[in-house]
Structure formats: C-alpha cells, structure tokens
Structure 1
C-alpha cells in the first residue's frame, strides 16, 4: 500500500513539473567521405531523461549497431568509430576513420532511457556516401638510366596519390632473382636496406626516388618501385620498372685520340718542313762553293 502511494506521488510530481521532450538533431544533408579517409556524422541531443545514445546504420533487416559509450548486450563498437567530443552533454557526433565503400548508408542517432533501456527518440538520419579512391599509379621515368662503376645514379619513382597507409619498397629484378633493396619505412621481416641507397627527398608524400652510390657492375638490372597497404601489407601498385646499366671505368674517349693524332701529324709535318728547308740550304751552299772553285 505504501509502495503504491509512493509510485503515485512520483507520477504526480512528474506531471506537475512537466516532462521535457528529447530532441535529436541530425544534419538532413548528406555527408561525403573518401575511401581510406575519415568523416564526421553530426548529432545533438537535448532534453529528456538520462540514458544512453546509440548509433545505428540503416533500418529493417539491414540495421547494424555501430557505436555507444555503453554497448548493448552481445554487441561491440566498431573500432573505427569514436565520439568527437568526449563527455559532452549534448553533442554526440561521431568520427569514422578508414572508410570503406560499404560504409555508405543512413546513420541514425538514437536516445534510450529507463531501467529497461527503452527507445525515447531517434534522429532523422544522415546519409553517408563514400567515394572510391582513384587508382594509384606509380610512374618511373625515364625507363632506363646509366651509371659508372664507383659512381652514383638516381632512379625515379612518383605516386599519383598518397594512397592508403602502407610502405613503398624498392626491389631489383623479378622471379627467382628478385632482391629487396630499400624502403623509407621499416624493412619487411628478415630484410635490411642496402646502405648505399637513400631517398632523394626525405619524408616526401609522393616522390620516392632513390639515389644509389658506389655503383658496382652487379647493380645492373631492372628496378621496381612498389606500394603496399593494409594490415597484411598487400601489394597495391607496381611501377613499370627502370633499367639500370652500370659501365666499367671509361677508357680515353675518341675525341682525345683524335687530338693526339692531329698533334702527331702536325709534328711530323713540321719536321718534314724543317728537313726540306735544311735540304734547300744545303743545295744552295753547294752551288755557292762550286762557283767559288770555278773562279
């Protein structure tokens, strides 16, 4: 009896004070993100009793739980989702990172309350559209370079976009002769960077050209610039390759031989002219002596 009166009193008090309505505001416009990027889906909640706010994607048979400060039984938060403003009383907007194409859909912000966690209000929803990334293209230009033994050379590599998180690596040749060379990121397991190789532009987002010093004849071959991504580091794109040709130390060039030949010819011609001049002088002297004897 006393318990029933207490419940009645609580109801009367609530009625006399009035019950505040819960209002959930979601931007009616669409939100656009890019594959592998991040996006914010806004939601503000005002009024109503204390309780949890939960996020769901889509409705009906495709309805999927997404995020809450306290997940419901047998559910877990998507690890890519977090609240934008921690412990905020009214702003329950979420941030989604590492977007994938299947994230596209309607996102609903919902308020629950009471001991039995009853749905109190639901936002009108925000439509998220995830756009695909353009294909990542690796350009290696020129397609061939030449170096000299003990010298250095630059092998170029440019990415069309930054692409998803993941390393860029250099390899020489393919098949059974394939050999790991260099990466500005940590090398793959059981590999190490060639100490003669370095990135031309340190910490550049898209230029991964390399410089190789102290060249040897065995460095000749095809060099491939490759982009990897994802948790398992899957190959995303590979350049068409650059052929490096390393020559031995250069012999005297043909132009130097030509100059030496011209010098020798000029010297021989000069000696011949001197000999001819001396011969003429000798003849003239002999004639003069004959005239003297004849007199």
Structure 2
C-alpha cells in the first residue's frame, strides 16, 4: 500500500492484514457460545464411540408353543431407530425385528427404559415358538448411514427349541421373574429353579452380559458380600441381595457351567432389576436442617449479613467522596 505524505515524499508502508470484522466485533457471549458448541460436538462424538450392545451368550432352551424372551441392553444410546434383531440359521440371515420401521408378526418389544439415562433395554418377545425359531439371535446397532449395515455378527444368543416329540432335555433353567422393582436398602429375591442334572459343573449368578459381566454368586462355597443363597430345595438356586443400592441395577442371569470342557452350558432368560433411590423422609429433612443450623447458627449468620451490608455502605461512601472531590478539582 502507498500513502501520500505531501512535500515530505512518498513512502511505502507494509501491507495491512485485513481484520476479520465479525470476530473483532463479536461479544464474549458469542465466543462462549461457539466454545460450547465445539465442546458439545466433541462430547457427542465421544459418546458415539462408547456404544456397546450387551446380550447373553446362551444357549437358552425353550419349548414349542412358549414365549421366548431375548435380552439386549445398549449402553450409550437410546435411539430406537439404530437397533434391530437378526436371526442366523444355516448361514442365512433374517431380520426379525427393527425398532425403526416394519411389521413383524409374533414379535413384540419389551421396551423397559432403565433408570440410567444412557442405558436402554431392547429386549423382545417371540410368541408361539416353533422349531424354526432355533438359531442364533443378534442384537445389532446400525451406523445410521445405511439401514442394512451394522456390526459384524460375531456375538449372539443361541436358542434351542424342544419340539413335542423330542425326549426331555437333561436340564432346564427357569427364571420366572422378568422385571423386579426395588428401592435402595431393600432385600431382593432373585428366583432360579434348575430341573435335571446336566453335565458336572457349577451354577453361577452373573450381572450383565458379555466379557464385562460381573460374578455375583457361586454355589461352590465361594462367598460374596451382601449375597446369600436360599436353597429351599435341591432344585432351588435362588439368591437374596441385601441392602441394595442404585448401583445394583442391571440384568441378572442364572447360568449352568460344565466342567469338561470348561464352558457355559445353559443360561436362564435373565431378570431385570431396577433400583430406585428412596425419597428423603421428613425426619431426615429435619435432621439435615438441624445440622445446618449447628454449622451456621442464626447469630453468626446475622453477624455475617451485617458485615456484608457494612462493606457495601463503606464502598458506596468512598464512591460518593471520590465524585465530590472530582467536582471540586476538575
């Protein structure tokens, strides 16, 4: 850029970079809003990367004509349009339910929202089970871009179907409770009945599914805190959970293992436990108020109030004196 300086000659000045007017004149509130939007976007991307589909490994045994309950919990999202169920049998894949659209006769969603805001239950019922329902069932999370795309079908719940003419199986695991509601501090009864013997091996309780499931109880003499066995009969493998809290919410499975080879043999359908926090009673509220009064007595609070008001008065007086002095000596 060249500027004219009259008789003193012409000088070349360095180029001046253009000033982004919008950013220069934007208010701090706009900057804060932009920062919040950036952080929110990063948070959403982080959440998307933490999604996880949890379902029991099985196998589960069901008789023809009965209703099959397939459990699935998605951690990290409650978007119904992103979940579907796929059945795999003899290398064939069949979509049996889609939470986004479609009509699927004989299939009904359980739809039990959990207390945790980022955990959702996408379990389904299959009514009037027949032999054709045997296979592996996969709860699949879509990616939102392609309706037919999803994660690799490497995990699922294996289902065995007993037909009318088949011999009786060597083992049945019955968990009649589908959903149990409780309040913090309660003792919860989780029912499990095992009919038959099956191969040698222990029966265990777990909370959750997949690699992250938590061992709750083992009937081989291993003790766990706040958990006791009922053992009302030789077939009774029910347990009691004492003094529960909201952290005990989840799905509990009664599972039979076989010793050789050491693997899971058969699983119950699972029992969903939802724990609600107990509301504060009137006595607890009064006790809390009493403790607050002891910490901040009314006399001390009054003194603090007077001190604050006094400081405000001193500040106002100093401002008035400064204004008066400025008028006298402009």
User: Which structure is larger by alpha-carbon Rg, 1 or 2?
Assistant: 1
Q: Same fold (TM over 0.5)?
A: no
TM-score (normalizing by structure 2):
0.35
TM-score (normalizing by structure 1):
0.39
